[in-house]
């Protein structure tokens, strides 16, 4: 019921159109149900008219009182045929209008659901999102939105249509002769029991089928991302086996579903045939006994066929509904997901010259303490270097500044106010990040760089690439700034991608530039030029550099050295070298003869 209520939130805005669709449908059904009566009239009053025993055609008797022509005359036949064609035409037009309208409402709801799913994807923090795999998210975005909208646009309408047809056909049959209902009523309990069992089994199966598609999506997605890794490890065969296993599961489950449908469809068809043949026999006996006319026999069989086929339609609709409810449950779960990072509604404006401070900050991710008792002052303009072995907490520390992760103890303040009191938008406008794992969109070089400000003038883009030392290699690309880089920057070297992402961060023009291992793939001479150039062009900006290379942080106002999430050393490069601790050890390892050595820098921490 919860899932229906959840979907109703999206469907209710189409209610006026939905009512119109139901009205069209109702009139089209009335037209459809009138046709067998008109056919019966043509048989009884034109083709097989017997003046000695005129028959009663129930509520369309008025058509045969002579106004449309004398019985058995060509004139009555013509009028009845015209009436038949007219009713048929009205039905066709209404069905067209109904189909166009309900499909439009459905597609609109599907697009809204997809847009909200995408917006949620952008809103949720990384930790919450990591509970979903990519395959699952793609299935939710594509299959579930399509399937769930069908529940509202098509299934409920189908059930509505079927109920109306069944009720009206039963009423008409009762008016013709109540005994005609005998067999449909006798078969109904068997049908219902079979239907309930069918639906129960289908629900379980649909859930498994959906999961199997998610698994296949994940395998494909991962392999697209990691195609080079797979090839370099000659892992094609293993991956193919993995894919085959997932694919076979999809195959087996769909086969199971086909068997289930076939089994129950046979039972339903049996009920249908028993109901139909039995009713024809009853109707035949009634014609022979003179209780009903010959025309009524043909009408009655048509109505019984309709009743049975619509009962089948209801069973099919309930069956499909199981699938749609599984999709609805997935969508509801994702769209009502509460992120771990809560946005503040406070309208604090982001300061131009932000002053950040860490006060005894600790951060636990899952069960693991990742940052411990960090106290740090980061006034506007400070150049801070962050060093430490791999996994020591550098990236998490940098991300906690803009609340990509929220601290679990202590406070990070911005101009004296807890950063959680700023809206995420205001807070994040303070930063331009170059993340450790570079991501480029499959778009032109220019669009990638101008991501923060797509309308920025060309000269600004060129200037940013000059600072990032990227202008030369861009010039050598076949279409320069208009070269389309592949997904995630395929076609560029690691260092080229890093330089593009540095240029992208510079274009944002935020007061704090955060470089997380952003120059690790550059040779030392290029790295030096990039960093010197950044400092020259943005002399006032705050600069936070996390790195493994001492050369990246030597000029910083303060360097902190992390181990297991704790600051174990802090000071300027000279102070730390003099201290002869962990930083000095890395420094000596990366230099020879007191000179920084490009070839010997390592990631080791003593």
Ligand X SMILES: Nc1ncnc2c1ncn2[C@@H]1O[C@H](COP(=O)(O)OP(=O)(O)OP(=O)(O)O)[C@@H](O)[C@H]1O
Q: Does 604 bind ligand X (CB under 6 A)?
A: no
Q: Does 393 bind ligand X (CB under 6 A)?
A: yes
- Least distance CB 492 / ligand X (angstroms): 21
Q: Does 365 bind ligand X (CB under 6 A)?
A: yes
Beta bridge partners of 356: 378, 414
Q: Does 605 bind ligand X (CB under 6 A)?
A: no
d(CA 25, CA 417): 61
Q: Which is nearer to Mg ion, 31 or 556 (CB)?
A: 556
- Least distance CB 391 / ligand X (angstroms): 4
CB-side exposure of 6: number of CA atoms within 13 Å? 20
- Of the candidate residues 106, 388, 489, 495, the single one contacting ligand X (CB under 6 A): 388
- Least distance CB 545 / ligand X (angstroms): 12
- Of the candidate residues 144, 517, 527, 558, the single one contacting ligand X (CB under 6 A): 517
Q: Which is nearer to ligand X, 22 or 563 (CB)?
A: 563
Q: Which is nearer to ligand X, 172 or 392 (CB)?
A: 392
Residue 450 interface partner, choices Mg ion, ligand X, none, CB cut-off 5-8 Å depending on type: none
Q: Helices marked H in 344-492 — which ranges?
A: 394-401, 424-428, 445-449, 458-467, 471-476
CB under 8 Å to 271, separation ≥6 — which residues? 187, 190, 191, 194, 308
How is residue 418 written in tokens? 């807890």
SS3 510: coil
Beta bridge partners of 560: 386, 570
Q: Does 519 bind Mg ion (CB under 5 A)?
A: no
Q: Does 370 bind ligand X (CB under 6 A)?
A: yes
DSSP run (H or E) holding 377: strand 368-378
Q: Does 395 bind ligand X (CB under 6 A)?
A: yes
Cα angle at 593 between 589 and 595, to 5 degrees?
A: 75
Count Cβ neighbours within 10 Å for each residue of 20-29 and write b for 16 or more, e otherwise. Answer: bbbebbbbbb
Residue 328 interface partner, choices ligand X, Mg ion, none, CB cut-off 5-8 Å depending on type: none
Q: Which of residues 377-406 bind Mg ion (CB under 5 A)?
A: 394-395
Q: Does 436 bind Mg ion (CB under 5 A)?
A: yes
Q: Which residue is nearest to ligand X (CB)?
A: 395
Q: Which residue is nearest to Mg ion (CB)?
A: 395
Complete DSSP assignment for 175-212:
HH-GGGGHHHHHHHHHHHHHHHHHHHHHHHHHHHHHHH
Q: Does 390 bind ligand X (CB under 6 A)?
A: yes
Q: Which is nearer to ligand X, 60 or 409 (CB)?
A: 409
Number of residues that bind ligand X (CB under 6 A): 15
φ/ψ region of 52 (left if φ > 0, alpha if ψ in -120 to 50, else beta) reads alpha
Q: Helices marked H in 227-293 — which ranges?
A: 227-232, 236-288
Q: Which is nearer to ligand X, 106 or 388 (CB)?
A: 388
Kindly indicate which of the ranges 191-199, 289-297, 300-308, 385-393 contains the residues binding ligand X, using the contact rule CB under 6 A: 385-393
Q: Helices marked H in 439-493 — which ranges?
A: 445-449, 458-467, 471-476
Q: Which is nearer to ligand X, 396 or 432 (CB)?
A: 396
d(CA 563, CA 558): 17
Q: Which is nearer to ligand X, 412 or 445 (CB)?
A: 412
Q: Does 131 bind ligand X (CB under 6 A)?
A: no
Q: Which residues bind Mg ion (CB under 5 A)?
A: 394-395, 436
Q: Which residues bind ligand X (CB under 6 A)?
A: 127, 365-366, 368, 370, 388, 390-396, 436, 517
């Amino acid at each position: 019921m919860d899932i229906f209520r959840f979907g109703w939130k999206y469907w209710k805005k189409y209610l006026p159109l939905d009512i119109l669709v139901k009205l069209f449908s109702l009139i089209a059904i009335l037209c459809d149900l009138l046709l067998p009566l008109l056919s019966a009239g043509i048989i009884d009053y034109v083709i097989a008219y017997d003046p000695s025993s005129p028959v009663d055609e129930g509520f369309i008797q008025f058509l045969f009182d002579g106004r449309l022509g004398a019985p058995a005359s060509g004139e009555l036949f013509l009028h009845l045929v015209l009436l038949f064609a007219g009713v048929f035409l009205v039905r066709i037009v209404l069905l067209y209008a109904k189909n166009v309208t309900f499909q439009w409402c459905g597609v609109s709801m599907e697009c809204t659901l997809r847009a909200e799913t995408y917006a949620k994807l952008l809103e949720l923090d990384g930790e919450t999102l990591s509970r979903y795999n990519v395959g699952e998210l793609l299935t939710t975005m594509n299959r579930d939105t399509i399937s769930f909208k069908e529940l509202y646009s098509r299934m409920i309408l189908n059930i509505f249509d079927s109920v109306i047809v069944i009720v009206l056909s039963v009423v008409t049959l009762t008016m013709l002769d109540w005994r005609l209902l005998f067999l449909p009523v006798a078969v109904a309990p068997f049908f219902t029991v079979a239907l309930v069992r069918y639906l129960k089994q289908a629900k379980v199966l649909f859930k498994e089928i959906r999961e199997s598609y998610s698994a296949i999506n994940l395998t494909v997605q991962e392999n697209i991302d990691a195609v080079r890794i797979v090839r370099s490890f000659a892992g094609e065969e293993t991956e193919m086996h993995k894919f085959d296993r997932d694919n076979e599961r999809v195959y087996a489950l769909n086969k199971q579903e086909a068997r289930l449908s076939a089994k129950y469809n046979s039972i339903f068809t049996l009920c249908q045939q028993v109901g139909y043949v039995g009713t024809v026999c009853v109707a035949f006996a009634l014609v022979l006994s003179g209780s009903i006319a010959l025309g009524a026999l043909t009408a009655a069989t048509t109505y019984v066929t309709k009743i049975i086929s619509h009962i089948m339609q209801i069973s099919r609709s309930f069956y499909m509904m199981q699938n749609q409810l599984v999709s609805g449950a997935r969508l509801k779960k994702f769209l009502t997901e509460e992120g771990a990072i809560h946005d503040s509604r406070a309208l604090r404006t982001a300061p131009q010259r932000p002053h950040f401070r860490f006060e005894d900050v600790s951060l636990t991710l899952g069960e693991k303490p990742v940052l411990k008792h960090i106290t740090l002052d980061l006034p506007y303009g400070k150049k801070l270097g962050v060093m430490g072995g791999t996994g020591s907490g550098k990236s998490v520390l940098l991300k906690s500044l803009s609340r990509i992760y929220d601290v679990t103890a202590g406070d990070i303040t911005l101009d004296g106010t807890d950063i959680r009191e700023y809206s995420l938008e205001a807070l994040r406008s303070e930063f331009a990040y170059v993340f450790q794992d570079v991501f480029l969109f499959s778009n032109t070089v220019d669009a990638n760089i101008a991501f923060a400000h797509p309308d920025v003038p060309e000269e600004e883009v060129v200037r940013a690439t000059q600072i990032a030392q990227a202008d030369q290699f861009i010039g050598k690309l076949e279409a320069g700034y208009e070269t389309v880089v592949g997904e995630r920057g395929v076609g560029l070297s690691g260092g080229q991608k890093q330089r593009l992402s540095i240029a992208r961060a510079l274009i944002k023009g935020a007061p704090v530039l955060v470089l997380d291992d952003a120059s690790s793939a550059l040779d030392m001479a290029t790295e030096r030029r990039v960093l010197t150039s950044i400092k020259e062009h943005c002399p006032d900006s705050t600069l936070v550099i996390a790195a493994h290379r001492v050369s990246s942080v030597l000029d910083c106002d303060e360097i902190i050295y992390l181990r297991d999430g704790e600051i174990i050393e802090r000071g300027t490069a000279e102070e730390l070298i003099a201290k002869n601790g962990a930083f000095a050890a890395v420094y000596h390892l990366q230099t020879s003869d007191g000179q920084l050595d490009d070839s010997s820098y390592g990631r080791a921490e003593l």
